[in-house]
Amino acid sequence: MSEFTFDRHRRLRSSVSMRALVQETHLRVTDFIYPIFVIEGEDIRNEVPSMPGVYQLSFDHLLEEVEEAYQLGIRSLILFGVVEEKDEIGSEAFHDHGIIQEATRIVKQAYPEMLVVADTCLCEYTSHGHCGVIENGDVSNDASLELLAKTAVSQAKAGADIIAPSNMMDGFVTVIRHALDEAGFHHIPIMSYAVKYASAYYGPFRDAADSTPQFGDRKTYQMNPANRLEAIREAKSDIKEGADFLIVKPSLSYMDIMREVRDNFDVPVVAYNVSGEYAMIKAAALNGWIDEKKLVTETLLSMKRAGADLIITYFAKDVAKWLQEEK
């Protein structure tokens, strides 16, 4: 072949050690934010049917889960609440002794080094399942902002390290930033669900959090999956209003959006590896159709390669175990 000129790319793939030497993207346990669902009651450990391996946990089982995550090297959690008593305005969300507030206190008292991210929304606590106050059959943007601000301050008072508003109301970052600052929480960052699409991938989460809308859908406030430029507008507004992190949700079908956000903004970008993405892999693995470890690793690597600095993922414990085994 001496008469031909071509590049020898395979030289850098010749062995395990060579491939490791030149690998560009890596997964670290500190990349992961682990979601936990906390439910009211005692001695409850309910596996979510559509999310094998994910549980709703009562307070008396919460620290067992946190302990396992901590021992695996995970240092960030995001908490979601599951409550029985709901009302039109989701008042449990901003009650100073609400389920997330109490869960946060429990975690921080036992594990002060564990970062607690508080999901700041109303949908898990409203009787109608929407992310804000209903007026004239629709979610009222401005009326909802006041309650979201109260929720954020209540969560910060309970010890949350990061406030993560997921409601997609216009102006939610600036209103929450102002409320946190007024309450003396200048040091608490906001991890904004800046780019959140109205996606079919959320179905299993709504089973886990009991947050399915009781009428209509969320398309008047979550984004159209067909739109790309809108994502940049949303992220730009949140940065201007004071966001410290930008979440892209979902991740798997939105790698192009994640790269756009990464290229346009210099704050940490967070991929949310959502419930539907998790459930698809779990279902295929349970049927023996795929190699779960290889596929999960490839999927999460692709999110980081697309521009994510951090990943919210239900696979956090699994991957942490695999990383330990490799060491």
Beta strands in 166-220 (DSSP E): 191-196
**In the predicted model, is pLDDT for residue 228 greater than 80?**
yes
**Can you read off the two tokens belonging to residue 263?**
């290229």
Which DSSP letter does residue 183 get?
A: T
Q: How far apart are CA 141 and CA 134, in angstroms?
A: 9
Gap between the Cα atoms of 314 and 65, Å rounded: 13
The reported pLDDT for the residue numbered 211 is 63
Which of 86-90, 124-128, 167-171: highest mean pLDDT? 167-171
**Angle at which helices 255-264 and 229-241 cross, to 10°:** 40
Contact status, residue 269 vs residue 232, Cβ threshold 8 Å: no
Q: Determine contact, residues 275/205, Cβ cutoff 8 Å.
A: yes
Quick one: tokens of 153?
Answer: 């301050």
Q: Quote the tokens at residue 316.
A: 């956090």
Query: Do the annotations mark residue 123 as ligand-binding?
Result: yes
Measure the CA–CA gap between 166 and 211, rounded to whole angstroms: 13
**Is there a contact between 157 and 104 (Cβ–Cβ < 8 Å)?**
no
List pLDDT tens digits, range 243-274.
999 999 999 999 999 999 999 999 999 999 99
| Rounded average pLDDT over 266-290 | 96
pLDDT of residue 204: 81
Q: Are 242 and 234 in contact (CB under 8 A)?
A: no
Q: Which active-site residues does the annotation give?
A: 196, 249
> Mean pLDDT, to the nearest integer, of 90-101?
89
- 110-134: per-residue pLDDT in tens? 999 999 999 998 877 887 767 777 8
- State the average pLDDT for the chain: 92
Instruction: Flag whether 218 is marked binding.
Output: yes
Q: Look at residues 201, 142, 200 and name the one whose alpha carbon lies nearest to residue 175.
A: 142
Calpha distance 261→35 (Å, rounded): 23
* Tens digits of residue pLDDT in 6-38: 899 999 999 999 999 999 999 999 999 999 999
* DSSP characters over 122-140: STTTBTT--SSEEETTEEE
Question: Is residue 131 marked as binding?
Answer: yes
Q: Which of these ranges, 32-46, 48-62, 196-210, 217-231, has the smallest mean pLDDT?
A: 196-210
Q: Which two tokens stand for residue 314?
A: 């239900």
Structure tokens at 133: 């106050």
183-222 pLDDT per residue, tens: 999 999 999 999 999 998 887 876 776 666 665 566 777 8
Q: Where are the beta strands (DSSP E) in the chain?
A: 32-39, 45-47, 55-57, 76-82, 115-120, 133-135, 138-140, 162-165, 191-196, 245-249, 269-273, 310-313
How high is the pLDDT of residue 213?
62
Q: Are the C-beta atoms of 191 and 249 separated by less than 8 Å?
A: no
3 is in an annotated binding site: no
292 assigned ligand-binding residue: no
Alpha carbon 249 to chain centroid distance?
A: 8
Query: Rounded to 5 degrees, what are φ and ψ at 74?
Result: -75, 135
Cα separation, 80 vs 191, in Å, equals 15
> Domain spanning 26-326: which CATH class is it, in words?
alpha beta
Helix or strand (DSSP H, E) at 110:
helix 99-110
Mean pLDDT along residues 136-153: 89
List C-alpha distances in Å: 216 to 82, 134, 138, 148, 213.
Answer: 21, 12, 9, 21, 7
Looking at the DSSP bridge assignments, the partners of residue 47 are 55
